[in-house]
């Protein structure tokens, strides 16, 4: 009943946006990110999208200020730009969609990439927050890969950027732990982790933040550096945290399961030992959406559904009534 329950929740909580994407109804006044949430959610549910809604969404996206291009508009975040391009990747005919969204824009790639190092730019003040800063360190390569593979007139320029930017981004990974290390002071990092641990598990944040960069490796077919250690930590988190990584299912669950699943693929190890826990998480997600709490937000839904698909891939089974499981990172390059 997962599809039925989620659609009922969307109808109860986000009816105008759902009707827009399913029926082509009048567009609601919502953020670009909320539109992307619905595109991802309906794609992961196996639901068709109204063609007229796609046209309206592309027109809206064409007016947005995008990081990496000059704009008089307030720019959306790197995460939301990677998310927008992920939505375009899911919508089908990428080349014409990208042409419309990027039409007549003036490139400003140095706002995304430091040309001295070719590393993604990120807020230095967030350097100790590995999960959050991973949205920049992984988001910039995702943007570049998405445009490079778009088939649009922008693709050749961005294609030349993929390898140097991805390599430089990996210079921000610790050679011993294989976790992102964009900060300079171990002492300040230790203090941050003590404070962060009051509400969240820093080890999960480390893995989740690093996974944002590994997504680009997964899309481009690169091997994960430090695979044995990353795989061991993802497996430990997957087996010890029940029913979810935190109180509610969202993208952190996806981060861990996707790292485990793709890491096992790269290592050649059998996923058989993970099939039971994967099925348990799928059951927990189904039970959660039978009665989601009022506080649950739309932006968490795509991550929860993507985790469900990843569990199905890990267990080697269908995603229930959602059909064949989707490798959302291969299709969208971001979530």
pLDDT of residue 183: 96
Domain boundaries, the chain: 2-332
Q: Which of 158, 160, 154, 262 is nearest to 213 (CA)?
A: 262
Mean pLDDT of 27-56: 97
Whether pTM exceeds 0.95: yes
pLDDT of residue 59: 96
pLDDT of residue 320: 85
CATH top-level class of 2-332:
mainly alpha
pLDDT of residue 188: 96
pLDDT for 268-289, tens place per residue?
999 999 999 999 999 999 999 9
pLDDT for 301-315, tens place per residue?
999 999 999 999 999
DSSP H or E run through 330:
helix 328-332
pLDDT for 315-332, tens place per residue?
999 988 899 999 999 999
pLDDT of residue 75: 96
pLDDT of residue 17: 98
| C-alpha distances out from residue 195 to 186, 198, 199, Å | 14, 6, 8
User: Does the pLDDT value for residue 41 go beyond 90?
Assistant: yes
pLDDT of residue 321: 87
Mean pLDDT of 74-85: 97
User: Does the pLDDT value for residue 62 go beyond 90?
Assistant: yes
pLDDT for 174-186, tens place per residue?
999 999 999 999 9
Phi, psi of 113 (to 5 degrees): -125, 135
pLDDT for 86-136, tens place per residue?
999 999 889 999 999 999 999 999 999 999 999 999 999 999 999 999 999
148-157 long-range Cβ contacts below 8 angstroms, 24+ apart: 149/89, 149/94, 149/333, 150/88, 150/89, 150/94, 150/95, 150/98, 151/94, 151/95, 151/98, 152/94, 152/95, 152/96, 152/98, 152/99, 152/102, 153/99, 154/98, 154/102, 157/107
């Amino acid at each position: 009943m997962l599809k039925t329950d989620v659609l009922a929740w969307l109808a109860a909580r986000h009816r105008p946006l759902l009707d827009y994407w399913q029926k082509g109804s009048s567009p609601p006044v919502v953020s670009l990110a909320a539109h992307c949430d619905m595109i991802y959610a309906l794609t992961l549910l196996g639901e068709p999208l109204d063609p007229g809604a796609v046209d309206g969404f592309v027109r809206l996206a064409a007016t947005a200020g995008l990081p990496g291009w000059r704009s008089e508009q307030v720019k959306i975040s790197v995460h939301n730009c990677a998310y927008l391009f992920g939505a375009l990747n899911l919508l089908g005919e990428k080349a014409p969609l990208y042409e419309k969204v990027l039409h007549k824009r003036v490139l400003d790639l140095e706002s995304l990439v430091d040309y001295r190092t070719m590393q993604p730019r990120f807020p230095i003040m967030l350097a100790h927050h590995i999960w959050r800063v991973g949205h920049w360190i992984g988001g910039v390569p995702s943007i570049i890969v998405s445009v490079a593979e778009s088939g649009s007139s922008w693709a050749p320029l961005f294609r030349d950027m993929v390898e140097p930017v991805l390599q430089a981004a990996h210079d921000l990974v610790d050679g011993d732990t294989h976790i992102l290390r964009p900060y300079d002071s171990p002492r300040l990092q230790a203090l941050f982790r003590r404070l962060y641990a009051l509400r969240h598990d820093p080890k999960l944040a480390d893995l989740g933040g690093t996974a944002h960069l590994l997504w680009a490796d997964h899309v481009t077919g690169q091997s994960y550096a430090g695979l044995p250690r990353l795989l061991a930590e993802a497996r430990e988190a997957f087996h010890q945290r029940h029913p979810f990584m935190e109180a509610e299912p969202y993208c952190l669950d996806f981060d861990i399961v996707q790292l485990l699943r793709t890491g096992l693929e790269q290592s050649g190890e059998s996923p058989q030992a993970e099939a039971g826990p994967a099925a348990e998480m799928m059951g927990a997600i189904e039970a959660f959406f039978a009665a989601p709490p009022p506080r649950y937000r739309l932006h968490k839904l795509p991550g929860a559904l993507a985790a469900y698909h990843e569990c199905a891939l890990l267990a080697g089974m269908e995603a229930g009534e959602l059909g064949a499981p989707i490798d959302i990172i291969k299709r969208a390059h971001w979530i």
